[in-house]
Structure 1
Amino acid sequence: MYCNIFVLLIIISLSSGEDYYELLGIKRDANDKEIRKAFKKLAVTLHPDKNTNDPEAHNKFVKLTTAYEILKDSETRKKYDIYGEEGLSNGYKAKQYQSWSYYQNQFGIYDDDPQVETLNRHDYNEKVLKSESIWFINFYSPMCSHCHHLAPVWRQVAKELEGVVRIGAVNCEDDWHLCRQINIRSYPTLLYYSRHSTHGVLYTAENTRENIISYVLSRLDVRALPISTSLGKRIIQGLEATEGASLLFICGINRDCFTTEDHLKIAAILNNMVTVRVLRCSDDECDDTIPHDIGVAFQHNNKNMPSDPIFFEDIDDVQILARKVLEQLPEPQDLSEEDFLGIRTRLRSDLNAGWLICFYIGHATQLDVQLKKLPGIIQSINLGKVNCGKYSNLCKGLNVNHYPVWGVLKPGGAFELHHGKDSVHDIASFATESIRATNVHMLSVDEILSIMNNKKDSEAWLVDWFAPWCPPCIRFLPELRKASLHFEPSVVHFGTVDCTVHSTICRQFNIRSYPTAMLVNNSNTNLFSGDKIAASLVEFITEMQNPTVIKLTTDDFHLKLGKKTVDEIWLVDYFAPWCGPCQQLAPQWTLVAKTLQVLPLVHVASVNCELEPSLCSSQGVRSYPTIRLYPTGSKGLNRVALYNGARDSLSILSWVTEFLPVNVKNLNLDNFDDMILQRKEAWLVDFFAPWCHHCIELQPHYNIAAQILEGKVRFAKVNCENYRLLCRKASVRAYPTVMLYFPGQKYSNEYDGSQINTASASKIVRDVETLLSTASRSKRDEL
């Protein structure tokens, strides 16, 4: 997904002339929650049910629903942001809209709840499966009455367990991809996720507040430890210091020391920071040293001498008590400019633990209560803070331009600022990810100019140009860090440029949308146009380093294509780097090249017509992208086939493989027995239906496998829509079904072959060769 700077260009390109962001009344940097909120507000007033006198009410609401459906999904929003409605494949059609009461009462049950976090498929893996947190998640449908009955209970649970576990919700009407992936079969479904779990545990008890809270507390991995009367008294009297900070509940007949459940909640909130202990004593045992109205005491950890305890009185709420305890914990270490530079120098020379640093102005304790939880979450990372009022030059040099903001000093010396939500869990996730990604650098002005002006001759850089206000940019940053883990710095460095700070430089290098990622290597700059995920980025960099697509220039075009032999196929993409459809095609073209590289006779190439205008002109290229195929059976450029289909890899591959020299035989009722059952050679037969998508996906791989196995196996296919009786006799029960028939084998009335896995061309080839080898050994054994 992208955030475009030049909104006017997008508006002009819209075929309908209406901008989806304007229809919803939101900014182009709106996040998912803001999009949903804006749509709901408009839906309850503009719905046709509420505007029966307006004959255009239905059409208006369809446009509104379409705008919402497009913008709420990151993939369609990305295409719309870059290319407008024309970028949406086959013209997007909105789902059938709901009744007025749906948007009024049922649309996103937990959207506005502060304690319940709405999750989607884009953040589920990172926030839940890979997090240090414990999650309890409600998978629901707004159409489900039981979900609505549970809602007030779920909100109450979220409030009571705040800080203990993270309470989430997934709207399965909106995010059915995620719910289908997790195999949610009924609503509501409650799943409990322990730390680092790969799947949730199903909650099956009654959906009451008491049962749910009891279930959660029973699964926590924390405890309130009992303590002896004698040790408790010594702690209360300040005669003995415990190891670390301790919270002591003093329980007796007339003492209010909270409940056993509350002890567990406090222990979970203060986990890894404060030890929670419970002293149970009779009034006779404790009253001589502990006043009877004292039920809770806190002791600092003091390495040098026992510290006087702090007594908390008149507190009966777990959250208030937790806050009071957090206030007593030490603040992060104050760092001067000299301290900061010294730490960075040491990190450049060794790989010691990194630092998470808060940059602030004024009194930092406003942050401390919430962020003092950080040591319990990220125990292996050093914590510090820098007062930018005192050390303004340091903060300015680090691009700190708002407060408070968090940054990371990494092993190796790289520095990176946090962008995104400022919750303690988001900051902890950033710190953990960033310190692992030692090869990601926040670039200074000098570094940007050096990279872009090709002064760092021996170094390749993946540069991400972004804006902190752009939601797709914030989602891309963690993906960039993950991608960096796949490469050594000697191969490629990763750098980020904040275009709100370096606006002049971003304009200088013609950055028009956010995020823009490009690989800069000496004089070559390649724009990344794939999906903004780590896997696509890794594939892009690998392709640029070791290309499967041949880059043709004026110097070698005629040398290679002009001397093409009759046995070769050349597939060429003529493109311009500024062309939107060309950018969309680029990752698909790479996928085509990777799929076809198993065939030595096929060469996939590209020509950059901005760099080679005379070459493209001489070939009569008048639009971009232009895809041409130079087939077998002709030399040089004598024959050419033009491609005019959809620009996705499957469509292109299906077209290309029709030109391969080994043909796949079409079988029917008349020739099946003669060809297959009375043969002296092995046959591989694909039983398919023309409406079956998996069959369509298989077709190019099947054709490729036919070329590789030429001389070993004959290839054929049967259209089961036309020849249903034949497919029934062959025991075909699903499409596609690929069967290998051996020569010389006797068959009953139902044809019986060996079924083949059809994942890809290479898998088909491996399975067929294994079966042929097994059959050959079996014959030798019989002899």
Structure 2
Amino acid sequence: PLRWKEMNIPRVQDYYDLLGVSRDATTREIRRGFKKLALTMHPDKNPVNPSAHDRFLQVNRAYEVLKDEDLRKKYDKYGEKGLDEQQGGRYESWSYYRYDFGIYDDDLEIITLDSGDFEAAVNSGEIWFINFYFPRCSHCHQLAPTWREFAKEMDGVIRIGAVNCGDNNHLCRRRGINSYPSLFVFRAGQKPEKFNDERSKDELVRFSMKLITTSIAQLWQGNVFSEIESAFSSGLGWLITFCSDTGGKTFSVRACVCACLLTQDGLVKVGWMDCTTDEQLCHSFQVTGGATALFPPGSSLDKHGSVLWLNTLDSKEIYTQVINHLPDLELLTTDSFERKLAHHRWLVSFTFGDRHSASNEYKKLQALLRNDHIQVGRVNCITDSDLCQPLYIHKPCVAVFKGLGIHDFEIHHGKDVLYNIVGFAKDSVRAHVTTLRPDNFPSDRKEPWLVDFFAPWCPPCRALLPELRKASIQLAGQMKFGTLDCTIHHSLCSVYNIQAYPTTVIFNGSSVHEYEGQHSADGILEFIQDLVNPTVVILDPPSFTDRVKANGQIWAVDFYAPWCGPCQALMPEWRRMARLLSGQVLVGSVDCQRFQAFCQGQGVRSYPEIRLYHSQQSYNGWNRDAHSLRSWALSSLPRASVDLTPETFKSQVLSGRDHWVLDFYAPWCGPCQHFAPEFEILARILKGEVRSGKVDCQTHHQTCQSAGITAYPTVRFYPYQGTRRKLLNPQNKTFVSDKEMSVSQNLKLLQFNFITYSVRSWSPYNIYIYIHIYICIFYLINCYCPKCQTVCRSRFLNERICWFCFRKIKNFGS
């Protein structure tokens, strides 16, 4: 066993070295490396060592950072300085790491999926049966031995996977997983199907076999030759089992599994022939007893060696021999490469002489990609080096050519497994991402380009690539997307001072912008939207003096330094906050590396420094997400709502002549505090049309009780209908979701004294829109619209809404 003296872990050490993994380690390898250390170094196993706790904290910290895609990127780019905002300090017990951690990491037949490869797997076209589990769930541990046996039984027939919902909480929540274990089957293009039967191996196998659409044909004198000829003309061979009087029962079991393995991938047709009833027919195939043979397209008994006779009854051995005997992918040469790829989409495997272990699996690609109209071929870079060198292909890889010639292609950098390659191919042909080289790099910048500088060994880089494809589809025709491999094109990356991976840069004419944000398509789209319509004002000393200090408006200002890791982490949230505050608070930023003397003059001593002007109030909150920052900024604005007492509630709301929207709250209520700035937004946008008020139900309990308030916060709209509104036993309509609201339904609301909106699902803007619709309908029914009066009633009665008001609402919503 490892001893502390032998470990000799220094106080500061590279996280990868600490866990004993390489920088391109997968999440699974990181888990296994950490578990090995956890079982030997845990303080529970070293109770007499006073430094055990601190040493294991460092190991645990390394694991927590490297398992998280975003934290791992920050660490790779900035080191530990970029992680100052991420606090560690706790770990699990030794028994947790021994018995609960990484349940299926050592099972080769079970593929542990995480957020980075889940979508590619379930959309690959293969059938996936996935176990969503939680490490501390006792039922999950009870199922584990059965799940392992089931995985071995179905290996090669369908894919068996597992998702740790402790490590992939967002993925599980997005998929609606709310109990453990949850077993789901995923088939591309179909709704996931949950397994609800007994969790035994036999039931799991029986359920799985029902999912597989396979056809085992019985061949006889009347159909055998037409069936074989038809399959040969389609490029498919036949696997035929000749059953003697003793082989029928054996065949029924092994043929089913073999058919599943071969026909679901569209590789061959599978059939059987009863030699007890069609003895003469079997003799014509030179069979006198039980046998199994593969007849490839164009084969004949007269051609020596063209028929493969199989001497095994094991279904997996049959499968392996059939796969080995199938024709290889079409070989593309210098003479045919450019011609064939000019107008058709191709997935091409580039090899360097020796066939690698995945070559036989690649034979399935043609069938799996047939419906996507993607042809599959291979290039031998040893014999056709003149083909590979101009494309900068120096090692085995897979690339998708998009039907626009040989220069528009994308190289696959994910796992070299079939489901990943299939998912990549389907995504790549729809996307607009190109693998860049020196000869096609956008140096002239005539068009806007997003270029991702990356290294294939970098896991965050690989995780970003599918997000780039999604973003390129959204921005098709507006911006071009490319990727540059810095392990191959060192000098070109050096020209642009690329020091960390991935570095994503947007080139737009003379402007160059580096993307710092979440590795997601939405994050990229938001960043580009900000470049087109900036929400954050870039301030320098003169503009700060003229705009922030002089004009009397409220400003939120971020003082930052480009080299500061936490500053970079804040940037996307700062831009998102600016969009949320649009029209209410002005948002700016100052680069303190560029204007160091100015920042020092403003008393800025650390970064990032966030302030509100004119109060010069600094943000001291721990959470620097967009919503927390927004709530802080809104708290500085003058209130647009008024506080109501029992007397003003009766005189102004119930007896007054104004429309009112009220927030019933309690000071001790957390959701009420969270909703308070939202209500102020609603009050501000309704100002002048609907009055807004707040009722403190702790101070004025009797008023809230009389109004029927049973939960906090509660938002109610009290429309004025020309009559006195009642407090006791009022007629009320409650809307839980904005999906319930429509123009026609609003007509029925006129009978109610007030309308309640559930703040859990209603945003201030939704409430605003439907309050406006209500008021417009009221004016219409009563022939009173200050803009169009009775004209809209006679002309737009069928629409059930005043057209002037409707247009106003529609414009607001857009």
Residue pair 1:257, 1:296 contacting (<8 A) in 2 also:
no
- Uncovered stretches (5+) of structure 2, i.e. residues with no partner: 1-9, 733-753, 785-814
* Aligned partner letter, 1:157: F
Equivalent in the alignment of 1:43: 38
Structure 1 residues 473-528: Cα deviation after superposition (integer angstroms, max 9, x where no partner)? 11111111111011134x21111111111223323322222111111112211111
* Residue 32 (str. 1) matches residue 9 (str. 2): no
| Counterparts of 2:547 and 2:428, CA distance in 1 | 46
Equivalent in the alignment of 2:218: 226
Q: What is the CA-CA distance between 1:366 and the residue it aligns to?
A: 5.2
Distance 1:621 1:63, change over 3 A: closer
* Aligned partner letter, 1:503: H
Structure 2 residue aligned with 1:300, among 284, 296, 300? 296
Name the SS of the counterpart of 1:395 in structure 2: helix
Structure 2 residue aligned with 1:194, among 187, 191, 206? 187
The 5 A counterparts of 1:99-178 are: 100-128=94-122, 130-178=123-171
Residue pair 1:464, 1:515 contacting (<8 A) in 2 also:
yes
Equivalent in the alignment of 1:687: 664
Q: Report the RMSD for the aligned CA atoms in angstroms.
A: 3.6
Q: What is the CA-CA distance between 1:123 and the residue it aligns to?
A: 3.1
Structure 1 residues 346-405: Cα deviation after superposition (integer angstroms, max 9, x where no partner)? 2xxxxx431111111124375432111111211121222111112334323322222x21
Structure 1 residues 323-342: Cα deviation after superposition (integer angstroms, max 9, x where no partner)? 21122222122222343334
* Residue 587 (str. 1) matches residue 572 (str. 2): yes
The 5 A counterparts of 1:637-652 are: 643-645=619-621, 647-652=624-629
Distance 1:499 1:273, change over 3 A: same
Residue pair 1:21, 1:28 contacting (<8 A) in 2 also:
yes
Equivalent in the alignment of 1:468: 456
The 5 A counterparts of 1:504-653 are: 504-552=491-539, 564=551, 568-597=553-582, 599=583, 602-608=585-591, 624-630=607-613, 643-645=619-621, 647-653=624-630
Structure 1 residue aligned with 2:206, among 200, 210, 214? 214
Comparing 588-597 and 747-756, the one that deviates more: 747-756
Comparing 571-580 and 757-766, the one that deviates more: 571-580
Q: What is the CA-CA distance between 1:195 and the residue it aligns to?
A: 2.6
Comparing 464-473 and 312-321, the one that deviates more: 312-321
The 5 A counterparts of 1:172-571 are: 172-198=165-191, 200-232=192-224, 243=234, 244-255=236-247, 258-270=250-262, 271-282=265-276, 285=279, 286-289=281-284, 290-302=286-298, 310-343=307-340, 346=342, 352-364=343-355, 367-379=358-370, 380-402=373-395, 404-413=396-405, 414-437=408-431, 439-448=432-441, 450-451=442-443, 455-456=444-445, 458-489=446-477, 491-552=478-539, 564=551, 568-571=553-556
| Counterparts of 1:94 and 1:735, CA distance in 2 | 36
| Counterparts of 1:365 and 1:24, CA distance in 2 | 30
Residue pair 2:331, 2:379 contacting (<8 A) in 1 also:
yes
Equivalent in the alignment of 2:763: 760
Identity of aligned residues (%): 38
* Aligned partner letter, 2:578: A
Residue pair 1:354, 1:408 contacting (<8 A) in 2 also:
yes
Name the SS of the counterpart of 1:263 in structure 2: helix
Structure 2 residue aligned with 1:745, among 719, 725, 740? 725
Residue pair 2:124, 2:420 contacting (<8 A) in 1 also:
no
Equivalent in the alignment of 1:664: 641
Structure 1 residues 571-623: Cα deviation after superposition (integer angstroms, max 9, x where no partner)? 444444443333222222222222233x3x64434455566778768877666
Comparing 220-229 and 109-118, the one that deviates more: 220-229
| Counterparts of 1:400 and 1:158, CA distance in 2 | 37
| Counterparts of 1:94 and 1:691, CA distance in 2 | 30
* Aligned partner letter, 1:104: R
* Aligned partner letter, 1:332: L
Comparing 492-501 and 588-597, the one that deviates more: 588-597
* Aligned partner letter, 1:47: H
Distance 1:660 1:535, change over 3 A: same
Comparing 661-670 and 366-375, the one that deviates more: 661-670
Name the SS of the counterpart of 1:229 in structure 2: coil
Residue pair 2:243, 2:290 contacting (<8 A) in 1 also:
no
| Counterparts of 1:336 and 1:591, CA distance in 2 | 51
Residue pair 2:156, 2:261 contacting (<8 A) in 1 also:
yes
Structure 1 residues 711-767: Cα deviation after superposition (integer angstroms, max 9, x where no partner)? 122223345566666555544444432222334311117896422254433223113
Residue pair 1:334, 1:384 contacting (<8 A) in 2 also:
yes
Distance 1:197 1:640, change over 3 A: same
Name the SS of the counterpart of 1:117 in structure 2: strand
* Aligned partner letter, 1:42: L
| Counterparts of 1:721 and 1:228, CA distance in 2 | 86
Name the SS of the counterpart of 2:167 in structure 1: coil
Structure 1 residues 681-711: Cα deviation after superposition (integer angstroms, max 9, x where no partner)? 2332223456766545533332222221111
TM-score by length of 1: 0.84
Name the SS of the counterpart of 2:359 in structure 1: helix
Residue pair 1:358, 1:406 contacting (<8 A) in 2 also:
yes
Name the SS of the counterpart of 1:773 in structure 2: helix
Equivalent in the alignment of 2:693: 716
Distance 1:375 1:269, change over 3 A: farther
Residue pair 1:757, 1:763 contacting (<8 A) in 2 also:
no
Residue pair 1:731, 1:751 contacting (<8 A) in 2 also:
no
Structure 1 residues 168-208: Cα deviation after superposition (integer angstroms, max 9, x where no partner)? 1122343344344444454433222233234x322233333
Q: What is the CA-CA distance between 1:59 and the residue it aligns to?
A: 4.6
Distance 1:487 1:178, change over 3 A: closer
Name the SS of the counterpart of 2:48 in structure 1: coil
Comparing 576-585 and 322-331, the one that deviates more: 576-585
| Counterparts of 2:668 and 2:549, CA distance in 1 | 40
TM-score by length of 2: 0.81
Structure 1 residues 628-674: Cα deviation after superposition (integer angstroms, max 9, x where no partner)? 5456xxxxxxx765555453322332232234345333446676555
* Aligned partner letter, 1:69: E
| Counterparts of 1:643 and 1:241, CA distance in 2 | 73
Distance 1:364 1:628, change over 3 A: same
Distance 1:410 1:695, change over 3 A: farther
| Counterparts of 1:512 and 1:533, CA distance in 2 | 21
Residue pair 1:257, 1:295 contacting (<8 A) in 2 also:
no
| Counterparts of 1:340 and 1:287, CA distance in 2 | 44
Equivalent in the alignment of 2:797: none
* Aligned partner letter, 2:755: S
Residue pair 2:132, 2:163 contacting (<8 A) in 1 also:
yes
Residue pair 2:679, 2:764 contacting (<8 A) in 1 also:
yes
| Counterparts of 1:624 and 1:546, CA distance in 2 | 26
Distance 1:187 1:241, change over 3 A: closer
| Counterparts of 2:533 and 2:300, CA distance in 1 | 61
